[in-house]
Amino acid sequence: MHDDRGLVEARLKRVLDERVRPAVYPESVPLEVAVWDAPGEPVPVEEGLAAEPHPIAVGDLWGAPWGTSWFRVTGRVPEEWAGRSVEAILDLGFDENMPGFQCEGLVYRPDGTPVKGLNPRNQWVRIGAPVDGGEEVRLHIEAASNPVILDYHPFLPTQLGDRETAGSDPQYKLTRMDLAVFDETVWRLVIDLEVLGELMLELPVESGRRWDILRAVDRALDALDLQDINGTAADARSLLADVLASPAEPSAHRISAVGHAHIDSAWLWPLRETVRKVARTTSNMTALLDDEPEFVFSMSQAQQWAWIKEHRPEVWAKVVKAVAAGRFVPAGGMWVEADTNMPGSEAMARQFVHGKRFFLDNFGVENDEAWLPDTFGFAAGLPQIIKAAGSKWLLTQKISWSQTNKFPHHTFQWEGIDGTRIFTHFPPVDTYNCAMKGSEIAHAARNFKDKGVARHSLAPTGWGDGGGGTTREMIAKAARLRNLEGSARVVWETPAEFFEKAQAEYPNPPVWVGELYLELHRATLTSQAKTKQGNRRSEHLLREAELWSATAAVRDAQFAYPYAELDRIWKTVLLHQFHDILPGSSIAWVHREAEQTYAAVAAELTSLIESAQRALAGEGGENLVFNSAPHARHGVAAGAAAVPAAAAPAERSAAPDGGFVLDNGRLRVVIDERGLVVSAYDIEADREAIAPDRPANLLQIHPDFPNMWDAWDVDAFYRNTVTDLVAADEVAAGEGASVRIVRSFGASRVTQLLSLAPGSARLDIDTEVDWHETEKFLKLAFPLDVHAERYASETQFGHFHRATHTNTSWEAAKFEACNHRFVHLGEPGWGVALVTDSTYGHDVTRTVRPSDSGTTTTLRVSLLRAPRFPDPETDQGLHRFRHALVPGATIGDAVREGYRVNLPERTVPGSGPVAPLVAVDNDAVVVTAVKLADDGSGDVVVRFHEARGGRARATVTPGFAARGVTVTDLLERPLGEGELVQGGVPVALRPFELRTLRFTRR
């Protein structure tokens, strides 16, 4: 037989495009349309419904950027359509290739009842199936004219990312507003032909199954009268019945389809628009659940559920009903799908506390899975947090985006820094927006790396990012793929049903140890510095507010612990850890609002802290120093207030060759005439920290123009070109033992203050940058005389080691990595730490010196970038950073100094010292939270972990009368009884082990 595959395949495409799909709606009549444009921000539903619109016609322009237009559509179903299915086709000017990324709408009945959402892949509204004929139709559409930010030529700078700069030109042209007959037989023929045509292209040419499908499709097309598709569609379908009924092979891959709409809580739209995106999507999904009995939809991010509850009670009522039926499933158990690299220990824990508690309180649902399909890599401390929250599984898809190395597993055990293992799945479909295309299903089956030992994978199915969710077409395709020869088997299941099956069939999967590093989007550790600083500052202010409020409430019965305020502020901070806000990859509007929000959070938390400290200090004129850090310092106990002890002075003198010397008897620092640190000498250890002939405190600037994903990415070639900023406008003596340095470069200016505190083993580096560069990357370099094959950087509840070498492509790919408060490099017996108050990105490289064959290990912190997409003004303006170089530091010193730079002491006048609420007698055990229990019982909750990477014993002693202690999970639920011995609780911790104790007060 001659090979006519290409001919038949091309025939199928044209007939589908030009004849069959258009015949789904064979008859239509226009609707009358009127519109009212809301001034300013969106208005309540009742106001939009009551507004008086003016006429608008198909073809007219509408919608200023970020505007809201209320359309009223009216009409009458023709009498002659009686007995037929009728739908309204409401096309606001959609581009079908951009679901979630342009205009959208939510349809209401005149009484304000939501009907469903409109988006580029979901333009229909059911009027009747069948209709009686003659029905009056009246619908209202709350339409959002969100501008297209990520266009066909992506990553171009645009002013559309903020309402203040977006202008007022209409963005869209009203395209279609009709009542139309819906021919379900033709629609089902479309699905039949799409499923078979897509499957056919994925099968081997030598496969008999491919040719069976080809011949059946050819016969079906022959049966179609192209001038009467509607009259001949049933005949064509009958000729496809046999190939659609042929069952899948017993060994076929199994796919659990989970209805899904990954909605970014903010990205190319502001937070307020996400509230409406969620309402539109959930309205669609609840309507679809009514129509499709096998369909299951899952939605993560408790914040988004809370938005529906607060802002759209009419939608919430439908959601609650669907959840009760077990078909609209809360997933993930986190407040938002957060970045997991940068949030601090407590913040990451609270993501689960607040997320899981919302689902428990509202639905009685306990989430066993963490659901993070789009997060940009996963910190090595996360498995322990997941387990401590009472969960046991993790799903993500994003690691498939890695540029260099293909991850070796799709189902595996992920082991964190403390040894905790979490059963983890990466869907081999490689998308969290699966549309049930044959290419996607075939890719999942081919790509699955655990063949032979497992055969289950998951496919998050529905339009996401900007929302939209699953469509009826996806459900119809899945129905045909349930048991179809040549395809994987597809069945709708909840996340829990998938994980139970996957774990049962694969009880001993391979183990991956350490972080799940995404070899992409590395620049998200630096972009939008003020957002990152706001997060770091908020985390530490929350620590202080909880500690001092709990202390005051326990010591003073009249002091009211601010439960509601802290709960609300935590949720605000957690929201801004969403994986496009904290990483700095959202539009200007999002980051402008984030800066304002963080300022308000700081003001409110500072007020709470001051109120509690005044209550504790009492009346008096003695200066009390409050220490919120988990370590004693300056004579002030951890979590207490006392009068600080004096320290030996530090001195500044002129260096013989120019510049200055700072010396306090522990550390001697030489700063040359350029303002560069040429020596940092650990006097006690008789050891130089700075590498020979390589100055530290060196600002370096690189060109920064990645191949794509501007705010997200920094590509390795950025290192090929570097400019050392060594010229100084000023190097002058500062106040006390300090030196002030001023440098100018490009259109920017840097002012630094290098200072040595009395009795301190650290060099404090305060940097102010007035930044006005474009597409540049600013680094601060410290070449260190340290021979180390690996280094440590702080992560949640511990630290993680990375290689300093590039032996393999896996190590080479980690050319930009994350730290929290410190990075530590060491040799046996001696090390150096660099601590930071707000930066996260860094790189570490090593070279061997020709002069003495010694190793120079260079640590560089990432200060600022200047990408132009999606915010063309990213990071422009004034920034302040604080770092400290700590020669001779152990890991314990790095932990201590990291807290010091992030938790400065507060001085309050009062009558006398305040004893700590909780004391721990081993500095290796670090307390991360002291608070009152969330249930209002007055119990005191203490969370701590081993911080040095070794085993530790300690006694945790409450500074109040306790009658009992319980070991709990993160949600403060009992796991077992603790033991009070002479008023304290003895604990033994494995490396990095996290523990939560709940003390019941007498």
Active site (catalytic) residues:
374
Q: Give phi and psi for 179, each to the nearest 5.
A: -95, 140
Q: Find the helix or strand (DSSP H, E) in which 519 lies.
A: none
Q: Which residues have C-beta within 8 Å of that of residue 450, sequence separation ≥ 6?
A: 409, 410, 411, 506, 509
Task: Please give the full DSSP string across 133-150, using - where no structure is assigned.
Answer: S--EEEEEEEEEE---SS
Q: Treating both helix axes as pointing N-terminal to C-terminal, what angle do 302-311 and 313-324 enclose, rounded to 10 degrees?
A: 130
- Burial per residue of 629-644, b for 16 or more beta-carbon CB atoms within 10 angstroms, e otherwise: bbbbbbebbbbbbbeb
- What distance in Å separates the CA atoms of residue 3 and residue 214, rounded to the nearest whole number? 11
The torsion region of residue 399 among left (phi > 0), alpha (psi -120 to 50) and beta comes to alpha
DSSP label at residue 696: B
Tokens of 583: 């990483």
Q: Which of 789, 801, 954 is nearest to 417 (CA)?
A: 801
3-state secondary structure of 811: helix
Q: Which of 854, 837, 725, 859 is CA-nearest to residue 787?
A: 854
Pair type for strands 830-836 and 877-887: antiparallel
Nearest C-alpha neighbor of 542 from the set 350, 360, 368: 350
CA distance readout (Å), 721 to 81, 555, 736: 70, 59, 38
Gap between the Cα atoms of 406 and 810, Å rounded: 10
Instruction: State the first-to-last Cα distance of the chain, in angstroms, to the nearest integer.
Output: 91
Residue matched to tokens 């890991």: 891
Across the chain, which distance is largest between two alpha carbons, in Å?
102
CA atoms within 13 A on the CB side of 963: 5
Neighbouring C-beta atoms of residue 497, cutoff 10 Å:
16
**Vertex 865, ends 532 and 430: CA angle to 5°?**
75
How would you classify the pairing of strands 677-682 and 667-671?
antiparallel
CB-CB contact of 587 with 270 (8 Å): yes
Give the CA angle between residues 461, 465, 466 to the nearest 5°. 110
958, 983 Cβ separation under 8 angstroms: yes
Angle between helices 5-15 and 208-223 (to 10 degrees): 50
Q: Measure the CA angle with vertex 86, ends 84 and 92; round to 5°.
A: 165
3-state secondary structure of 322: helix
Report which residue type is found at 235. Answer: D
Helix (H) or strand (E) holding 35: strand 32-38
Q: Report residue 119 as tokens.
A: 């988006």
Q: How far apart (Å, rounded) are the C-alpha atoms in residues 394 and 425?
A: 6
Are 836 and 883 within 8 A, CB to CB?
yes
Within 10 angstroms of residue 127's Cβ, the number of other Cβ atoms is 19
Cα 125 to the chain's mean position, in Å?
Answer: 33
Q: Are the C-beta atoms of 800 and 792 separated by less than 8 Å?
A: yes
Tokens 């649902």 -> residue:
365
CA distances from 270 to 6, 162, 263, 313 (A): 47, 9, 12, 21
